[in-house]
Structure 1
Amino acid sequence: MPAAPKKYLVTALAWLLAALFLAPYLEMVITAVRPADELRDNGYLPRHFAWHNFVAVWTDTTIGTNLKVSLLVAGGSTLLTLLVALPAAYYTARMKFRGRTAYLLLVLVTQMFQPTALQVGLAREFSSLDMMDSDLTLILANSAFSLAFAVWILSAYISSIPAELEEAAMIDGTGRVGALFKVTLPLALPGVVTCVIFTFITAWNEFVMGLILVNSPSKQPLTVGIDAMIGAYHPQWNYMFAASLVAIVPVVILFAAIERHVVAGLTAGSVK
């Protein structure tokens, strides 16, 4: 096949694939601006566009408060996971101690448990500690389930960095902690970014823990707040889709902010 037609064919297939992925989001936008009396119409486009749905979802529901809770929980879980996983990953990557392999396997085994299956035990534990209905409870629970993945990813990245770089820095007078933050951590930035993305999105999309561990509507995360719009007889589809579009924005901003670090990590070492 000549180069020019092949290029056009690949471009057309790429646009078709992009359209397939974007079609659900387009449906979300269309439903979000439908008036309530047109939600069951057969037409794909509404006869009137109810842009006030985006205003009403903030004034008539608790979505604004739920959004703040989700930002707090996702951000707090990400920060706590990195603070705990980074020293653990560094120690397992640099120090050879007895039981190191067993420790890493034990950490990996904890990742195999389904969070949903542990909710009853978590609820009883936090209830005995009088920590139910709290943002801190969601932060601790989400961090616990993301910690194993973060330790493994960071340990693998740090292990791939030559220890001689840290030794050279320590010979120049930098301590081990200084070598970690000045030498190793910048080189392991792609691994840190991977952990940030995984932990933040996992906590942001978490539904079951927010539903079981928190009872007050004003303290529930955004996923539970959107689910509450499904009533017994009259689901508020326009509000649900408007709130779902709002829920996408923080994740898009996160990817836009750290995308260059992800690309840098994927292409590191490809050009000499």
Structure 2
Amino acid sequence: MAERGYGRGYDGAYDSAYDRGVRLVAGGLAALVFLFLIAPLVVLVVSSFNAAGSMAFPPSGLSLRWYADVLGSPDWQVSFRLSGMLVLMVVPTTVVIGTLAAYGLAQGSFPGRRLLQGLALSPLMVPEIIIALGLLYYFHGVGLINSLPGLWLAHSLVALPFVVRAVTVSAAQLDPALERAATSLGAGRARVFFTVTLPLLRPGILAGAILAAVTSLGEVAVTALVAGANTTTVPLRIFSAVQYQLDPSMAAVSTLLMAASVVVMVVADRFARISEAL
């Protein structure tokens, strides 16, 4: 019996050591993946404060001159205004259409529902350059190349699937009993939707809105083919600039965009818990 007890104790110690080893290896791999993801962003942010006119890392000195150059440049100001205007146009458009589509696809039961669901998410499955080429040919025929309406429609097409996907997650968790209870109390369909359904969909709607905004702010492939000299967004100007000169001003612009995205996501998650819908 003493030997059996010793064996059980040995097995327990071996299992404990094995579990610790697995946890250490898993933790090490997770740390490596995190460093791999975060390292380029850290280099980008630090390089934006470089006092020299190069992207050398580590920087030889620290300065805010590149932020002053970007914020004081008329060309960058035009691009910032255009990108901001696009976000203000794309987000409401995709949120309204995407919310209605996601709710109908998640709660409805009709022939062809799965086909429509796949169609709504199809831009996620098709390479963006293919979408961009299709839009180029179509917009050229209707005169929307190098125009704000053309960029608005193009960005909305690319961002819409993200809204549909985010709202679908919230719509799939709706309790139909709540809507039936409101209906039994005399509320009409429109009132039930606006007073019961929409508040329950709020995390998915906000998550979709943020994803749409980030997608529009970072869109390059589609923009490059449907934009022009008068419709140069911030990402497109960055893409064009780095082909001829690479200085810390590009890092400064990217840092500003990244900081704005992080602040919006943190604030939205604080008040609406959008992480539950992602």
Q: Give the alignment's TM-score, normalised by structure 1.
A: 0.79
Q: What do you get for the CA RMSD once the two structures are aligned?
A: 3.1
Q: State yes or no: 1:95 paired with 2:108.
A: yes
Q: Which runs of 5+ in 2 are unaligned?
A: 1-15, 17-23
Of residues 92-101 and 128-137 in structure 1, the stretch that sits farther from structure 2 once superposed is 92-101
How far has the Cα of 1:206 moved from its partner?
A: 0.6
Structure 1 CA distance for aligned equivalents of residues 157 and 275 of structure 2:
29
Of the candidates 20, 35, 59, which is equivalent to residue 51 of structure 2? 35
Tell me the amino acid that sits aligned with residue 30 of structure 1: V
Tell me the amino acid that sits aligned with residue 239 of structure 2: D
For 1:228, the equivalent position in structure 2 comes to 240
How far has the Cα of 1:93 moved from its partner?
A: 3.1
Contact 1:82 1:150 in 2 (8 A): yes
How far has the Cα of 1:177 moved from its partner?
A: 1.5
Q: Could you say if the C-alpha distance between residues 77 and 30 of structure 1 is closer, same or farther in structure 2, counting changes exceeding 3 Å? A: same
Structure 2 CA distance for aligned equivalents of residues 99 and 237 of structure 1:
52
Percent of pairs with identical residues? 22
Structure (1 or 2) with the larger CA radius of gyration: 2
How far has the Cα of 1:162 moved from its partner?
A: 1.8
Q: Secondary structure at the match of 1:188?
A: helix
For 1:246, the equivalent position in structure 2 comes to 256
How far has the Cα of 1:195 moved from its partner?
A: 1.3
Q: Could you say if the C-alpha distance between residues 61 and 245 of structure 1 is closer, same or farther in structure 2, counting changes exceeding 3 Å? A: farther
How far has the Cα of 1:264 moved from its partner?
A: 7.1
Contact 2:206 2:274 in 1 (8 A): no
Structure 1 CA distance for aligned equivalents of residues 122 and 44 of structure 2:
38
Structure 1 CA distance for aligned equivalents of residues 184 and 236 of structure 2:
53
Of residues 86-95 and 236-245 in structure 1, the stretch that sits farther from structure 2 once superposed is 86-95
Which has the bigger relative contact order, CA under 8 A and spacing at least 6? 1
For 1:262, the equivalent position in structure 2 comes to 273
How far has the Cα of 1:81 moved from its partner?
A: 0.8
Of the candidates 52, 56, 59, which is equivalent to residue 45 of structure 1? 59
Q: Give the alignment's TM-score, normalised by structure 2.
A: 0.78
Q: Secondary structure at the match of 2:187?
A: coil
Contact 2:131 2:222 in 1 (8 A): no
CA displacement, residues 141-197 of structure 1 (integer Å, 9 cap, x when unaligned): 121223234334423422321222112112222211211121111112222122123
How far has the Cα of 1:18 moved from its partner?
A: 6.7
Which structure 2 residues correspond to residues 6-85 of structure 1 after superposition, within 5 A?
Answer: 22-36=38-52, 39=54, 44-46=58-60, 48-60=61-73, 62-85=75-98
Q: Could you say if the C-alpha distance between residues 184 and 236 of structure 1 is closer, same or farther in structure 2, counting changes exceeding 3 Å? A: same
